[in-house]
């Protein structure tokens, strides 16, 4: 497939792997966090770890919107479907996220809730137009990439008078989460697991640009390389990070310049600012309460804000006590350090956020990489 | 009285504007009329013509195999097929994968009140054509009707009976370390064809479902290479899930080579767009064959010489693995587990 296969090429991968191995100084540790689930997926799906030297390690960050959605927010959505009889529209990957009382959107649907899987915010608005006698709520999730389309349908619903349409906003912000990880006591204290740099978001950065990362590159002295979602993008970003570490630099660099620039998509930013405002705080599954890390719908669009329209009261629900997602998301523990991993907690029965979606750290390791946990993996059979 | 019995009804079914009514499933005259004017006319064969509740056939030599498969695909009509042809192919393939030569089919219909007779006729004619092309008669059947809103147009369950020649033993537990793993052609075509016509998601693609009866291919493969250990069609859950089933049944692992797995560019592109892994997307006209290493070249040549195996490829080897992992060397050159399907990325695919 043109314009895709080039970014997954084995020979180019070998070349980048050799360059990383050549430049990574033996005895020195390079621990980089890829923030985005898209990168986690690319690394796991293509086996990028097999092409890295032992002292270059990738830590899977919290950048999977499905994973960080807290139980209490899903409970609100389930409540709307089962008790308020709304048509609840959700992206497919949110359907299986575990909520309270062993429920999920999928189970609530089986219990009789009118819960519909949609592929875009526009589909949800269409359903509202087709069902004028019903309340239709769009369960909006995602980072900066999915926020503009949500803003667009809210504005359109207001402009065209679709009075039965509202949005339960769970849109969250990338820079706030990265700062939260860097500020956590465990990560800041010298001597505990350090993060030596970040592979910065691809699609998110196409909206917000590279500028928002400049603050924490400088403040926390951590290099950031914005990278595309293809495996060779990630490998090139790793090489750029290794070089920054070797040279003692902590800069924002852009590997993904075919899409991302410094200012980002200003039209989208303006649209988001028109419809949304910062929340004082928001709960992230795995990270806990993070200040100024999410977006609520502005009062001018109150009629389309499900939280106001249905007077929803948020009730936080703690995760299973044995779940180590918080530490795993900060790079303090590996998935296999958690005693639930692979036993009580699997992709079929996820207990914590990292196992919820295939982009989560634990699910990615379980689904793609768990052969590495064995003392000695068998050699690849040769092809005839 | 002599000659043909007088028809029970004055007015024939209106296949232009008529709809399925509850009476069509009630067992009375309306049911008999639907059977005669639609099913019997389309499937016509001596067993059906007796209009008995059961078909009686001579006992064939060899071991009998029997398989059943329910079809709830949505939409009912899709590029490259429809629920009718799919319901014939699906069951024939289940019989064939056991090494069986399919002999007879039975079909059960659950119809929704209000379903247009024109569409039902189109489906039944497609079934009849598929059964005729495959040389497997539909010898008995049943029709029930549920109230409007209690079904989704048409559900079809087909059951097939076949006979396995002496000396042929195919079993999912028979794969052994060192065996070669083949797939008979490109993967993911059926799932992508269905997705392209789903509500909310319609996109233009030239991809047709690969829905096809594979018993002819199976017969050719088995006569050329009777030591084939496992045959299976990777339907729901796709290639990945089917290989995991076999690995678990046989107590082995597998090592695949991603670049060897045949994939049409349009299917790859659609999966890229939809965020699907083609390894998990359903097929309805492909098979996986596992053979001892020494028979690999022979099987490969036999596959390539058959029109249904033109794009066949050797995609990997069976390994010794206490964890029964199916692993893969990726296009990039790294390694990954190819796990069971989690959840359901494409409901009602067949």
Chain B residues touching residue A13 (CB < 8 angstroms): 332-334
CA–CA separation, A195 and A223 (whole Å): 10
Q: What is the structure's pLDDT at B10?
A: 64
C-alpha dist (Å) from residue B324 to B143, B243, B246, B249, B319: 43, 10, 9, 9, 9
Architecture of the domain delimited by B180-337: Alpha-Beta Complex (3.90)
pTM for the full predicted model: 0.90
CA–CA separation, B66 and B162 (whole Å): 6
DSSP H or E stretch at residue A290: strand A288-291
* Joined tokens for residue A113: 């809730």
The average confidence (pLDDT) of chain A is 91
Q: 3-state SS of A13-80?
A: HHHHHHHHHHHCCCCCCEEEEEEEHHHHHHHHHCCHHHHCCCCEEEEEEEECCCCCCCHHHHHHHHHH
Is A3 in CB contact (< 8 Å) with chain B? no
Provide the β-strand partners of residue A295: A278
Is B333 in CB contact (< 8 Å) with chain A? yes
Domain definitions of chain B by residue range = 8-164, 180-337
Is B199 in CB contact (< 8 Å) with chain A? no
Query: pLDDT tens digits, residue range A71-86?
Result: 999 999 999 999 999 9
Residues of chain B with pLDDT under 50: 1
Is A44 in CB contact (< 8 Å) with chain B? yes
Shortest alpha-carbon distance between residue B347 and chain A (Å): 11
- Give the confidence band of A67 by pLDDT, cuts at 50, 70, 90: confident
Shortest alpha-carbon distance between residue B16 and chain A (Å): 29
Chain B residues touching residue A231 (CB < 8 angstroms): 332, 334
Tallying the residues shown for chain B, one arrives at: 350
CATH tag, B8-164: 3.30.1330.10
| Half-sphere exposure in the Cβ direction for B224 (13 Å, CA) | 19
* Joined tokens for residue B27: 């067992």
> Could you tell me if A293 and A284 are in contact, meaning their C-beta atoms sit under 8 angstroms apart?
yes
CA–CA separation, B305 and B283 (whole Å): 21
CA–CA separation, B231 and A328 (whole Å): 42
Q: What is the structure's pLDDT at A358?
A: 81
DSSP A302-353: GGGBHHHHTT------PPPTT--HHHHHTTSS-GGGSTTBTTTB-SSS--SG
- Comparing B8-164 with B180-337, is the CATH topology the same? no
Is B262 in CB contact (< 8 Å) with chain A? no
Q: Do A47 and B255 touch (CB under 8 A)?
A: no
Is A47 in CB contact (< 8 Å) with chain B? yes
- Give the confidence band of A192 by pLDDT, cuts at 50, 70, 90: low
3-class state of residue B236 by DSSP: coil
> Could you tell me if A138 and A116 are in contact, meaning their C-beta atoms sit under 8 angstroms apart?
no
Is B45 in CB contact (< 8 Å) with chain A? no
Query: pLDDT tens digits, residue range A259-273?
Result: 999 999 999 999 999
CB neighbour class for A11 (10 Å; exposed up to 12, middle 13-18, buried from 19): exposed
**pLDDT score of A205 more than 70:** yes
Residues 165-204 of A with CB under 8 A from B: none
Nearest C-alpha in A relative to B272: A4
| CA-atom Rg of chain B in angstroms | 22
DSSP B92-133: HHHHHHTT-EEEEEEEEEEEETT-BHHHHHHHHHHHHHHHHH
Q: Do B333 and A232 touch (CB under 8 A)?
A: no
DSSP H or E stretch at residue B221: helix B215-224
Q: What is the structure's pLDDT at B344?
A: 66
What is the complex's ipTM, to 2 decimals? 0.86
Shortest alpha-carbon distance between residue B333 and chain A (Å): 6
Among A1, A13, A369, beta carbon nearest to B336: A369
Q: What is the structure's pLDDT at A73?
A: 97
| Residue B9: Cβ within 10 Å count | 12
User: Backbone phi, then psi, for A312, in 5-degree steps?
Assistant: -75, 140
Is A369 in CB contact (< 8 Å) with chain B? yes
């Amino acid at each position: 497939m043109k314009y895709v296969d080039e970014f997954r090429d084995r020979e180019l991968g070998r070349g980048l792997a050799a360059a990383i191995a050549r430049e990574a100084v033996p005895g020195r540790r390079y621990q980089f966090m890829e923030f985005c689930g898209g990168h986690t997926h690319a690394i796991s799906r293509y086996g990028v770890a097999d092409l890295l030297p032992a002292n270059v390690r990738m830590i899977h960050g919290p950048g999977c919107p499905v994973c960080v959605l807290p139980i209490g927010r899903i409970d609100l959505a389930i409540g709307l479907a089962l008790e308020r009889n709304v048509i609840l529209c959700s992206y497919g990957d949110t359907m299986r996220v575990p909520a309270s009382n062993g429920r999920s959107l999928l189970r609530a649907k089986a219990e009789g809730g009118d819960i519909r899987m949609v592929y875009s915010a526009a589909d949800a608005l269409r359903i509202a137009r087709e069902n004028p006698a019903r309340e239709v709520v769009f369960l909006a999730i995602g980072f900066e990439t999915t926020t503009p389309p949500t803003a667009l349908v809210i504005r359109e619903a207001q402009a065209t008078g679709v009075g039965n349409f509202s949005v339960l906003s769970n849109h969250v912000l990338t820079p706030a989460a990265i700062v939260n990880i860097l500020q956590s006591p465990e990560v800041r204290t010298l001597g505990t697991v350090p993060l030596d740099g970040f592979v910065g978001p691809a699609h998110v950065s196409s909206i917000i640009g590279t500028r928002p990362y400049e603050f924490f590159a400088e403040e926390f002295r951590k290099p950031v390389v914005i990278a595309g979602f293809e495996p060779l993008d990630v490998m090139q970003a790793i090489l750029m990070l290794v070089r920054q570490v070797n040279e003692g630099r902590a800069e924002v660099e852009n590997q993904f310049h075919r899409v991302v620039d410094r200012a980002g998509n200003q039209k989208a930013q303006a649209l988001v600012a028109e419809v949304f405002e910062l929340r004082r705080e928001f709960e992230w599954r795995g990270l806990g309460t993070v200040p100024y890390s999410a977006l609520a719908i502005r009062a001018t669009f109150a009629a389309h804000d499900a939280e106001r329209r249905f007077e929803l009261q948020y009730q936080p629900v703690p995760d299973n006590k044995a779940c180590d997602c918080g530490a795993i998301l900060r790079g303090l523990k590996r998935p296999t350090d958690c005693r639930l991993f692979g036993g009580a907690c699997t992709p079929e029965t996820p207990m914590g956020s990292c196992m919820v979606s295939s982009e989560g750290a634990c699910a990615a390791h379980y689904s793609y990489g768990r052969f590495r946990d064995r003392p000695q993996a068998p050699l690849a059979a040769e092809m005839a | 009285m002599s000659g043909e019995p007088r028809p029970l009804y004055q007015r024939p079914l209106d296949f232009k504007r008529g709809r399925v009514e509850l009476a069509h499933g009630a067992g009375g005259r309306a049911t008999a009329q639907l059977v005669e004017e639609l099913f019997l006319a389309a499937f016509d064969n001596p067993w059906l013509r007796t209009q008995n509740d059961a078909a009686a056939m001579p006992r064939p030599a060899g071991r009998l195999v029997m398989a059943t498969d329910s079809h709830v695909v949505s939409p009912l009509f899709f590029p490259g097929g429809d629920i009718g042809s799919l319901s014939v192919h699906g069951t024939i393939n289940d019989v064939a994968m056991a090494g069986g030569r399919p002999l007879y089919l039975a079909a059960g219909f659950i119809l929704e009140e209000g379903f247009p007779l024109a569409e039902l006729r189109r489906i039944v004619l497609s079934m009849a054509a598929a059964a005729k092309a495959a040389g497997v008669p539909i010898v008995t059947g049943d029709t029930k009707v549920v109230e409007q809103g209690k079904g989704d147009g048409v559900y079809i369950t087909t059951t097939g009976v076949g006979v396995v020649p002496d000396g042929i033993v195919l079993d999912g537990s028979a794969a052994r370390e060192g065996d070669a793993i083949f797939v008979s052609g490109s993967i993911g075509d059926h799932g992508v064809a269905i997705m392209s016509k789903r509500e909310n998601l319609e996109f233009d693609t030239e991809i047709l479902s690969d829905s096809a009866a594979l018993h002819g291919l199976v017969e050719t493969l088995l006569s050329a290479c009777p030591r084939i250990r496992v045959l299976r069609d990777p339907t729901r859950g796709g290639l990945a899930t089917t290989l995991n089933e076999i690995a678990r049944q046989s107590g082995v692992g597998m090592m695949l080579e991603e670049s060897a797995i045949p994939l049409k560019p349009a299917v790859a592109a659609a999966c890229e767009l939809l965020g699907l892994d083609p390894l998990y997307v359903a097929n309805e006209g492909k098979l996986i064959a596992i053979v001892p290493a020494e028979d690999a070249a022979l099987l490969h040549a036999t596959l390539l010489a058959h029109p249904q195996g033109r794009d066949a490829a050797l995609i990997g080897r069976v390994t010794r693995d206490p964890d029964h992992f199916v692993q893969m060397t990726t296009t990039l050159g790294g390694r990954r587990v190819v796990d069971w399907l989690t959840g359901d990325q494409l409901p009602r695919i067949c």
